Amino acid sequence: MTADPDRALVVRARRGDPAAFDALVARHRDVVFRVAARIVGRDEAHDVSQDAFLRAFNRLDGFRGEGTFRAWLLQITHNAALRAAERRLPEPLEPEGVEEAGAIAESAVARTPVAELEARERRRRLEAKIALLKPQHRAVLVLRDVEGLSYEEIAAVTEAPLGSVKGRLNRARGELIAILRANTYDWELPR
Amino acid sequence: MNDDAPASTAEQRLQQHLLVLREEPPRPSQALTTRIVRQARWQRVVREPLRAAGRLLSAAISGFAVVTGLRRRAGQ
């Protein structure tokens, strides 16, 4: 088992050190928000992320350290996101807002404005199509193919056996390919 | 063969599309961090008194049950 880089912070946070919990939030807020946003949409991702962090905070004594803190936190995020997704249909992610224009400009340095617009449109369309998958399928697809988690980590996060994770991922990829093939936009997916 | 290797050309192409999503990930606002940290600190302040009040209430209910149980038995 690999050493958990968050162990010292978790120990300090458990002892009541508020700065340690703040540091854990700062360290993991991006991945928690990304996973939440890809499952429930950007608007609801803020509430889901807050819910996940506060649940983690209140259950910190129950974290046994069998896996990493990150995997445990993502498990809480995944469950919170699925609960939220069950409550209402997800909205596709919208293109980045004005406040994120700086980040966009930075990532677009090497592209022409037309190519960048085209890439953003493809991303927007793809995100909208991913939102059509079942929440459980969407979750494993995002965790594996977008966030790059290992199968073992995904099994821990989703609390599912390894075989189920692989099966769910295969089905998710197959469903997404079928959805994209049915789309009028050409995704260049040969049969 | 790695069991994660895409099985078909379509799956390989899908992987390329999905990689594009990593280029511009959704990002949380700074306000989210502030909100979480503030809520956690507030909850830390009220958590212990609430737990103590809960334990006290639970003890009072148990005590009441014991007393009423004894009286009922004495009355029979």
pLDDT in tens, chain A (191 residues): 568 899 999 999 998 888 999 999 999 999 999 999 999 988 899 999 999 999 999 999 889 888 899 999 999 999 999 999 887 654 555 544 433 444 444 444 566 778 778 888 888 889 889 999 999 999 999 999 999 999 999 999 999 999 999 999 999 999 999 999 887 677 677 77
The pLDDT value given to residue A118:
81
Return phi, psi of residue A41, to 5°: 100, 155
Query: Do the Cβ atoms of B36 and A18 come within 8 Å?
Result: no
ipTM attached to this prediction: 0.71
Q: Please report residues of B whose CB lies closer than 8 A to that of A188.
A: 13
Q: Scan residues 1-60 of B and list those with Cβ closer than 8 Å to A.
A: 3-4, 9-11, 13-15, 17-18, 20-29, 32-33, 35-37, 39-41, 43-44, 47
Nearest by CB to residue B13, choosing from A38, A100, A188, is A188
For the CA atoms of A43, A44, A48, A49, the dihedral, rounded to the nearest 10 degrees, stands at 0
C-alpha dihedral, A58 to B31 to A26 to A169, nearest 10°? 80
- SS3 state of residue A150: coil
The phi, psi pair for A90, rounded to 5°, reads -70, 150
pLDDT at B66: 86
For residue A110, the model assigns a pLDDT of 61
